[in-house]
Amino acid sequence: MFHKATESISKEQFWTAYNKFPPNGWTKFIFKYFSKETKAEDKWLKNIFIGVELALFLAGMLGTILEWSRMAIGIPTITFGILLAILVLGGFVAVFMNNFRIGKIRKELGGISKIEYNRLVELYSE
C-alpha cells in the first residue's frame, strides 16, 4: 500500500527534507491566526477580525433597514467585502503555497505520495 521508500525514510531524513523547505511568513501568519487549529493564545487577532466584520455587516444591514443614504450603507458594506476578500484570497494563497512546499518535500523524499507524507508526519511528529 505504501511506497517502499517510505519505510526506509528515517526520522532524520524526514526532518532534513522538511526543514529544507520552511513555510514562508504569509503561510505561517495565516495558519497561526486563522486556521481551525489556532491556539487559544493566538485567537485574539481572529476574534478582532470577526468583531470588525460583524460590526461592519450590522452597520450595513441597519443602514438598509433604516433607509440611510447610499453612502452611509456603502462604506461599511464595501469595507466588509474588501476585508473578507483579503482574508479569503489570502487564505487560498497560503494553502496553495503550503501545498507547493509539501510537494517539494515529498519530491525530496523520493517522490512519495501525499498519504505517505502524512503518515510520516504522524509518525515523526510525536
User: pLDDT digit string (tens) for 19-31?
Assistant: 999 999 999 999 9
CA distance linking residue 93 with residue 23, whole number of Å:
12
Q: What's the 3-state SS for 3-43?
A: CHHHHHCCHHHHHHHHHHCCCCHHHHHHHHHHCCCCCHHHH
Domain boundaries defined on the chain:
4-124
pLDDT at 22: 96
Residues 6+ apart with CB under 8 A from 116: 2, 3, 6, 106
User: pLDDT digit string (tens) for 1-49?
Assistant: 455 556 788 999 999 999 999 999 999 999 999 999 899 999 999 999 9
CA distance linking residue 98 with residue 92, whole number of Å:
10
